[in-house]
Amino acid sequence: MDRAPDAALAKVRERRRAARRARLVVVLRGTLGAAAVIGFAVWAHLGSGQPVFSPHGKPEAGWEAFHAAYDVDTFGRDGYFVRAIQSGYNLIHHTYRYAWRFTRKGALDRPNACIDCHSETDLAYAFASGDRYDAALGRRISFEEHVMRCYATHLDGFVPTIYDPAVRDIRIFARMVAHHLQLGEGAREAPQ
Amino acid sequence: MRPLPAGWAKALRLALLFGALLGLYALAVARHEERAQIREQAVVLTPSCADKLDRYGLAAGPDYVSTYMLARGWHPDPRRGYSEQDVRAIQRGCNIIDDLQGQLATDPGRERWNSTRFVRGTHTSCDHCHQGIGDKQTAAGVPQTGSLSLGASWVMADMYDQFTGILLPFELRQMQCYINSSNGYKPNVADDLIRDVTAYSRFLAAALDLRFGNRYAEQGIDEVTASSTLKRGDDYVRGAALFKEKCARCHGPQGLGTVVEGKVVYPALAGPNSFNHQSRNNFSFVSTILPGFICRNMPLGEEGTLSNQDCRDIGFYVSNLPRPAGDKEGPLAALWNQLMMRVMPPMIHAVETWRHADTSGESGA
């Protein structure tokens, strides 16, 4: 007579255990998933060292010296602008690595970076004289369009859009150098 | 009539499709050609532009020396000169700033790059905010502090913009003006409308000998913050009274602007022709810019007569008048604002007329 209630009780207990196990699995799965996402984010930002995961540009050789020589911190007064300048510096000096999508040039090719043809000062003067008529092309050309054309021709690659950081950061870099040299609109380089 | 064989029907459909595509291509080529012709044709300047560009010595040549700077006793180094094409771009840019809607043009569509495509209302022109064709000067011929100078804005472009959270190029800032201050649509970054204004702004920077990245007093607005007042708070009722007294004679009792013979004499501050909620002129969005503009530029001929508190009160009142919704507010807000813009003016007019009649009746008795 007592067996029936015991069996029913055992079934209830078994059902509860099964429900607890199922709940635990769900919680564990969720926790593990969240931990994996958080772990990846922490690793990406702090431990990976990959520039693609960091808002701060990778300090390439020469950046610190350039940074000090051109008073980069005094211009713009915000982290965004300085980061864009650093990105511009990296693009100009190591174009084949930082704008690899827009050039076919590799580490062993020459030229493989903007700096192989243009100095920082050249870029600043070009920026100051941008948006002018180009007789060879028969129309007015902006500084950005010149950069886009360089990617497609001298760097044997592809044309980025005008909004791409590969164009924008070079313009911002040139603007910073123009500020450092205190250039005005249409300034001309003094004859050497 | 006999039906066409199956193969023929298919061929006809294909021919129609190709014909339509060819038509679109021909249209695009024709428009492209038309634009190329406009770039080549001589520019008819507005009177203000003719005066300004003449004063600054704009002419084609290998060198450019600012006659403005020479007149002020400075001798800047010769700058790279402008070609005929550059000069025309600068002239068109000046015209666009002075007369965006083409009210002074004989052929507004061609002479202003169809700028009205990008503006919903019929009142707005760049010059309403960027006074003095983007280069407002004092009686002594010095650029005025906080006058939204386009030249000074160009040399400080690409900086971090707190309202949009990006490094804002000059071209994108112009697009924002079309979307919000003109309550319209954004042109493409490479559109002649944008490029000509950039050319004109760059010319102003050359004429005034502005240097890249330097902050000049004429850039932006000298904003009127709450801390520059006695901090009594912004008063809507006081703003309404001041508006009636100081602004309504030009902008109309409800701020709907004044149009005479189809020409905008004073622009709308409310209603479908005014700036929208997302414009930086809107007090509820940025509370310091409109009061700054009012204090510096209004009322016409009596500039500088209003106190900071007056300007904030008027700005608060003006921004509470019905106006178009901003581009980020969504369809319900847009619908509500459309309704308000249609219902409120006649209702207020009716109430005002009734009150006026009532007051006249009482005083008559």
Of A178, A183, A185, the CB nearest to B202: A185
Say yes or no: ipTM exceeds 0.90.
Answer: no
CA distance linking residue B129 with residue B318, whole number of Å: 15
Q: Distance (Å) from the C-alpha of residue A184 to the closest C-alpha of chain B? A: 4
- Residue that the structure tokens 């009596």 belong to: B302
Contact B255, B321 (CB under 8 A): yes
Residue of A nearest to B198 (CA): A131
Query: Min CA distance, B199 vs chain A (Å)?
Result: 7
- A192 has pLDDT over 70: no
DSSP secondary structure code for residue A108 in this structure: T
pLDDT digit string, tens, across residues A88-134: 999 999 999 999 999 999 989 988 999 999 999 999 999 999 999 99
pLDDT of residue B295: 92
The widest CA-to-CA distance across chain B, in whole angstroms, is 90
Residue A77, pLDDT score: 66
B190, A140: Cβ pair inside 8 Å? no
Cβ contact, residue pair A188, B159, below 8 Å: no
Asked whether the predicted pLDDT for residue B26 surpasses 60, the reply is: yes
Confidence of residue B227 (pLDDT cuts 50, 70, 90): confident
Q: How many angstroms separate the CA atoms of B192 and B188, rounded?
A: 9
- Rounded to the nearest 5°, which phi and psi values hold at A181? -85, 0
Query: Strands, E, within B49-207: which ranges?
Result: 63-64, 79-80, 160-161, 166-167
Mean per-residue pLDDT for A142-160? Answer: 95
Beta carbons of B167 and A172 less than 8 Å apart = yes
Question: What residues contact B341, with CB distance under 8 A and at least 6 apart?
Answer: B270, B271, B272, B322, B323, B324
Name the token pair of B182.
Answer: 């003109």
Please give the model's pTM, rounded to 2 decimal places.
0.87
The distance from CA B18 to its chain's CA centroid, rounded to whole angstroms, is 42
Percent of chain B whose pLDDT exceeds 90: 72
Looking at residue B261, its pLDDT comes to 87
Question: Of B50-54, B80-84, B150-154, B220-224, which range is least confident?
Answer: B220-224
pLDDT of B365 > 50? The answer is: no
Q: How far apart are CA B271 and CA B325, in angstroms?
A: 11
- The percentage of residues in chain B with a pLDDT greater than 70, rounded to a whole number, is 98
Half-sphere exposure for B42 (CA within 13 Å, toward CB): 1
Q: How far is CA A135 from the centre of its chain?
A: 35
B147-204 pLDDT per residue, tens: 999 999 999 998 888 888 888 999 999 999 999 999 999 999 989 999 999 999 999 9
User: CA B215 to CA A72: how far, in whole Å?
Assistant: 16
Contacts of A75 in chain B (CB under 8 A): 213
Can you tell me the mean pLDDT for B8-30? Answer: 94
Return the pLDDT at A13. 94
Q: Nearest Cβ partner of A84 from B89, B167, B199?
A: B167
Mean pLDDT computed over B71-93: 93
In sequence order, the 6+-apart residues with CB closer than 8 A to the CB of A86 are A56, A57, A59, A63, A67, A72
Q: What is the sign, positive or negative, of the torsion defined by CA atoms of A119, A124, A127, A128?
A: negative
Locate tokens 């520019």: which residue? B43
Establish if A185 touches chain B: CB-CB under 8 angstroms.
yes
Please answer yes or no on whether A129 and B80 come within 8 Å at the CB atom. Answer: yes
Which pLDDT band holds residue A155 (cuts at 50, 70, 90)?
Answer: very high
Cis amide prior to B299 (ω within 30 degrees): yes
Tokens coding B167: 């490094």
- Please report which residue ranges of chain A form alpha helices under DSSP H: 3-42, 63-69, 79-93, 95-98, 120-128, 143-152, 165-180
Residue spans of alpha helices (H) in A94-139:
95-98, 120-128
Is the CB of B212 less than 8 angstroms away from the CB of A163? no
Q: Is B190 helix (H, G, I), strand (E, B) or coil?
A: coil
**How far, rounded to the nearest angstrom, does the alpha carbon of residue A82 sit from its chain's CA centroid?**
13
Residue B276 pLDDT grade (very low, low, confident, very high; cuts 50, 70, 90): very high
